């Protein structure tokens, strides 16, 4: 690999862009995706990808149908600018195989790299858990010649997660605390990864919930997100529901909620009765396996345990109202 100063990196994944910048390699980043928007200073780099699906103009149900139709036909919902890739001549291309809905397919990237930038190293990031995300940060750091920086970044992130759990434990052990037993005061939490149809959470999201002092419902850490239905969600009786549809920011979620009528019996859910329906920036804190998943856990801790961590700010999470099927 080249000297750090000369290394040219292309990121074909928003999470990889965030990792690259966290490692102090923003100056080496020569190409990004159309979705890369953090940090804001990267948005002047040329995008190598484009999407055939619009979050802005399509409903949750329409996007789900379009994605399934494309992938069932073994197509793709993304285009890769191969001519631009050849022009940029990157030394390192960071991509993924985990999710065909998240980025250009790995096979497409491999084929383009062989044809246009044969000398480039192509690395595929495959995280399923928080520890996998941390391992990915170290992998990118090693390939880019900043292994020590990567170790420091990961150690800091792990320390922040440890502090959340320590504070919850300390609060539970305090005899003056309202929470006597933290295990029995862990709220039952549903993280909704899509709205129509509803998706139960997978990968690292259940871990974020558990670290933040909640009980993750209907999802398994390290496993794929799965389609569920409103009846099964009702049966789980969640005390808190956090809406994090993949790839959405909070304004997108609010806009989509206006188009969805939830079952009338949902009014009886503890989360609805207690005004514990929240929306958070999924792209920032959950959809992207990057350092900000730790921010996501910290914000969840504020939602679950405001008596310990304080209320979340309006830029971190907002309470939202649902429309019901029998409403006027």
The whole-number pLDDT of residue 73 equals: 43
For the chain, which residues make up each domain, given as ranges?
A: 9-126, 181-324
Distance of CA 251 to the CA centre of its chain: 16
Euclidean distance between the first and final Cα of the chain, in Å?
Answer: 63
Residue 146 tokens read as: 């900043």
Distance CA(74)–CA(218), nearest Å, equals: 29
Q: Do 9-126 and 181-324 have matching folds?
A: yes
* Percent of the chain with pLDDT strictly greater than 70: 80
pLDDT level of residue 182 (50, 70, 90 thresholds) = very low
pLDDT at residue 157 is higher than 90: yes
CATH class of 9-126: alpha beta
Q: Quick one: which of 244, 231, 196 has its CA closest to 67?
A: 196
- For the entire predicted model, the pTM comes to 0.87
Report, at the CATH architecture level, how domain 181-324 is classified: 3-Layer(aba) Sandwich (3.40)
Cis ω before 176 (30° cut-off from 0):
no
**Coil, strand or helix: which one is 100?**
coil
Q: Angle at Cα 127 formed by Cα 125 and Cα 207, nearest 5°? A: 160
The long-range contacts involving 137-142, CB below 8 angstroms and separated by at least 24 positions, are 137/19, 137/22, 137/23, 137/291, 140/16, 140/19, 140/20, 140/23, 140/94, 141/23
Q: Are 108 and 34 in contact (CB under 8 A)?
A: no
Mean pLDDT over the full length of the chain: 87
Q: Are 240 and 303 in contact (CB under 8 A)?
A: yes
| Gyration radius of the chain over CA positions | 21
Unique residue bearing structure tokens 């919902």:
77
Distance CA(135)–CA(125), nearest Å, equals: 9
All residues at 6 or more sequence positions from 198 whose CB lies less than 8 Å from its CB, including other chains? 192, 227, 228, 229, 230, 233
Residue 114 has a CB neighbour count (10 Å cut-off) of 11
pLDDT at residue 175 is higher than 60: no
Unique residue bearing structure tokens 């690999």:
1
Instruction: List the single range of 14-18, 21-25, 175-179, 236-240 with lowest mean pLDDT.
Output: 175-179
Q: Quick one: which of 108, 114, 54 has its CA closest to 80?
A: 108
């Amino acid at each position: 690999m080249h000297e750090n100063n000369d290394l040219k990196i292309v990121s074909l994944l928003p999470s990889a862009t965030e990792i690259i910048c966290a490692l102090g390699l923003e100056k080496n980043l020569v190409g990004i995706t159309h979705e890369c928007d953090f940090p804001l200073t990267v948005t002047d780099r040329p995008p190598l990808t484009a999407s055939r699906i619009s979050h802005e103009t399509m409903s949750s149900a329409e996007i789900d149908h379009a994605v399934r139709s494309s992938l069932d036909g073994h197509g793709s919902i993304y285009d890769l600018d191969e001519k631009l890739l050849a022009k940029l001549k990157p030394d390192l291309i960071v991509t993924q195989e985990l999710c065909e809905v998240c980025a250009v397919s790995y096979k497409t990237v491999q084929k383009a790299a062989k044809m246009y930038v044969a000398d480039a190293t192509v690395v595929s990031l495959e995280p399923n858990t928080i520890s996998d995300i941390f391992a990915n940060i170290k992998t990118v750091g090693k390939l880019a010649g900043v292994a020590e920086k990567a170790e420091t970044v990961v150690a800091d992130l792990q320390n922040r997660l440890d502090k959340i759990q320590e504070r919850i434990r300390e609060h539970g052990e305090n005899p003056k605390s309202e929470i006597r037993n933290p295990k029995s005061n862990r709220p039952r939490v549903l993280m909704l990864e899509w709205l129509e149809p509803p998706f139960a959470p997978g990968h690292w999201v259940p871990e974020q919930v558990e670290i933040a002092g909640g009980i993750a419902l209907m999802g398994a850490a390290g496993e794929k997100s799965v389609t569920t239905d409103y009846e099964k969600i009702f049966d789980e009786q969640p005390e808190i529901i956090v809406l994090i549809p993949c790839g959405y920011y909070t304004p997108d979620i609010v806009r989509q909620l206006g188009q969805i009528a939830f079952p009338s019996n949902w009014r009886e859910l503890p989360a609805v009765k207690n005004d514990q329906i929240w929306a958070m920036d999924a792209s920032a804190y959950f959809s992207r396996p990057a350092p900000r998943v730790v921010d996501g856990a910290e914000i969840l801790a504020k939602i679950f345990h405001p008596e310990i961590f304080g209320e979340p700010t309006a830029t971190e999470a907002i309470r939202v109202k649902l429309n019901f099927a029998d409403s006027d």
